[in-house]
Amino acid sequence: MGLLDTLKKIEPDKKESPFLHTLYDGFFTFAFAPDSVAKGGTHIKDGIDLKRTMVLVVLAMQLCYLFGSINIGHQHFSALGMYPGFVQGLHLKLAYGLVKLLPIFIVSNVVGLGIEFWYAAKKGHAIEEGYLVSGALIPLIMPPDIPLLWLAFAVAFAVIIGKEAFGGTGMNILNVALLARVFIFFAYPTTISGDEVWVAGLEKPEAGALADYGAIFTGFFNPLFESLGFTSLFNPEATVIDGYTAATPLSLAYQGGWENVTSVYSESQMWWGAIPGSIGETSKPLILAGAAILIATGIASWRIMLSMFVGAAVMAMLLNAWDATPFMSVPWYYQFWMGSFFFAMAFMATDPVTAASTNRGKIIYGFLIGFVGMIIRVLNPAYPEGWMLAILFMNVFAPLIDHYVLDANMTRRMNRANA
């Protein structure tokens, strides 16, 4: 245990430098599970703790990270009419995607964890693991070209106002990751809505626009790939091809129904996720694989996922029956081919802190998210997607749902006494 002794020696003093001590404690408990023993209650404790729980969620979204970083590059080159196959020019796509994704990930985590560390030191408690998941979720729900300063503002807002103001991990009312997104959505709407933001690195998604490469591509990656023997390189003279559209399936559906969507994207393309969108939301099978991990390990509630699916399906069928606009006439099952429904279902709605906390409440909560989200998606004239707003809306109502579920439990008990 040489490492352990070395680590123990460099432990900063708690009184003299509380921030350093908190930081040290955070990293130390990350490397070594503490030696504390059960006192005064049960003599054995379950092997699971919050770190393990949170890390499993992060692991479940790794496939989305992998696919997302390639898809950033894929969309970029599709606009330029290059490398139409998903794995063609993979090195370029991956390099391009990582250059876009890593800064977002770093900013999200440095800002968010920095604030968490600071509050932990100030309040004198250990660093709680909540932000591990939020910090990993935020990059996946951002467009690839999000300005990093605004992202930093959004993360700071979400962590300070959304979480620490309420008391930290376990106390927040609203989903932290979605709060960061909704902050950008209302404060800087042009960067996160419309048809022009989902494909990275173009001046404009119009024919003839130049690809917008920085020095890192021409000065670092091109020589690197050349030395490795690749012939395909980043081409700073490439322009957007004729007839290209960066519109998402949802905005196409809003304008002209399902025919309009399928004229641009094929069904399998949408299902597998090679379409423009937020970084991690596009590939349905990979998200469902993550959801399967979460359900199998019991980390996320299958009740919420299932009822949210049912709620969305029911609303979509009702809209089919109404059939007043082209968007309403999109067959209900095809609604799931478009947009970020599955991502919201697997990773956002199931956040245990902001969801309803009773089993019965979870079913109601999930159903209403699906129901309300589909209304917002189809009927909202400004913005054809609804899950972020629906989840935040139901986050606010989750305590009320629980209140009535608990009330019913209390009434049952009262009735027993009176019987």
Partner 1 sequence: MKNNTLYTFLVALFLFSSNNAFAADSASGSSILNIGMWAVAILIIFFLIIQVSDNLIRIEGKEAGLDADQQAGLSLFPSFSNLFSAKKPEYVNEGAFYALKAGHNIALEGEAEKVIKQNNATTFAVQPQNFVGISPIPKVTVAVGDEVKAGDVVCFDKKRPDIKYVAPVSGEVIAVNRGAKRSIKEIVILADKEINYKVLPKLDLANTSREALVNYLLETGGWTMIRQRPFGIVPDVADVPKEIFISTFDSAPLAPDLSFVVEGKGAAFQKGLDVLSMLTDGAVHLGLDARGDAAPSAVFTGATGVKKHWFHGKHPVGNVGIQIHHISPIAGTDKVWTLGVQEVITLGKIFAEGKFDASRVIALTGAETTAPAYVNTYLGANVGSLIGEVKDNVRLVSGDVLSGQEKTKEEFLDFSDDQITTIKEGNEYEMFGWLAPMDARPSVSQTFLSGLADVTYEANTNTHGEKRAFVVTGQYEKVLPMDIYPQHLMKAILVNDFERMEGLGINELLEEDVALCEFACTSKQPLQKILREGLEIMREQA
Please list every residue from 51 through 110 that binds partner 1, using CB under 8 A.
51-53, 55-56
Q: Is 233 left (phi over 0), alpha (psi -120 to 50) or beta?
A: beta
Give me 248's structure tokens: 């998402």
When asked if residue 323 is in the footprint of partner 1 (CB under 8 A), the reply is: no
**Which residues between 199 and 258 bind partner 1 (CB under 8 A)?**
none
**Options 26-34, 179-187, 238-246, 248-256: segment touching partner 1 (CB under 8 A):** 26-34
* Gap between the Cα atoms of 347 and 355, Å rounded: 12
**Is residue 373 part of the contact set for partner 1 (CB under 8 A)?**
no
Cβ distance to partner 1 smaller for residue 9 or 229: 9
**Interior angle at CA 237, CA 236 and CA 238, nearest 5:** 95
Q: If you ran DSSP here, which 8-state letter would residue 385 be given?
A: -
Q: Look at residue 379 and give its three-state secondary structure.
A: helix
Binding flag, residue 295, partner 1 (CB under 8 A)? yes
Candidates 77, 83, 105, 128: give the one binding partner 1 (CB under 8 A). Answer: 128
By CB under 8 A, tell whether 10 contacts partner 1: no
Contacts of 390 (CB under 8 A, 6+ apart): 344, 369, 370, 372, 373, 376
Least distance CB 282 / partner 1 (angstroms):
17
Interface with partner 1 by CB under 8 A: which range of 87-95, 219-227, 328-336, 378-386? 328-336
Binding mask 333-372 for partner 1 (x = CB under 8 A): x--x---------------xx-x-xxx--x----------
Contact status: 262 vs partner 1 (CB under 8 A): no
Bridge partners (DSSP) listed for residue 211: 202
List 49, 203, 226, 259, residue binding partner 1 (CB under 8 A): 49
- To partner 1, the closest distance from the beta carbon of 102 in angstroms equals 23
Q: Which of residues 165, 171, 187, 400 is near partner 1 by CB under 8 A?
A: 171
Reduce the DSSP state of residue 171 to 3 states and report it: coil
Q: Which of 80-88, 97-105, 243-251, 329-337 is the region at the interface with partner 1 (rule: CB under 8 A)? A: 329-337
- The residue among 147 and 167 lying less far from partner 1, judged by its C-beta, is 167
- CA–CA dist 360, 207 (Å, integer): 53
Between 98 and 318, CB nearer to partner 1? 318
**Of 63, 141, 279, 299, which one interacts with partner 1 (CB under 8 A)?**
299
Q: What is the distance between the alpha carbons of residues 17 and 410, in angstroms, rounded to a whole number?
A: 49
The secondary element (H helix, E strand) that includes residue 27 is helix 18-31
Cβ neighbours of 389 (radius 10 Å): 18
308 near partner 1 (CB under 8 A): no
Is residue 419 a contact residue for partner 1 (CB under 8 A)? Answer: yes
Closest approach, Cβ 256 to partner 1, in A, equals 18
Handedness of CA 391, 394, 395, 401 (dihedral sign): negative
Which span sits near partner 1 by CB under 8 A: 79-87, 182-190, 301-309, 378-386? 301-309
* From 2, 3, 13, 243, residue interacting with partner 1 (rule: CB under 8 A): 3
Query: In the bound complex, what is the minimum distance in angstroms from residue 58's beta carbon to partner 1?
Result: 11
Per CB under 8 A, 399 contacts partner 1: no
Q: Which residues pair with 202 in a beta bridge?
A: 211
Please report which residue ranges of 238-357 form alpha helices under DSSP H. 249-262, 267-272, 284-296, 302-322, 341-343
Spatial contact of 110 and 103, defined as CB atoms under 8 Å apart? no
Tokens standing for residue 265: 């994207």
One-letter amino acid at 245 equals T
Residue 126 lies near partner 1 (rule: CB under 8 A): yes
* Site membership for partner 1, residue 37 (CB under 8 A): yes
> Diameter of the chain by CA atoms?
85
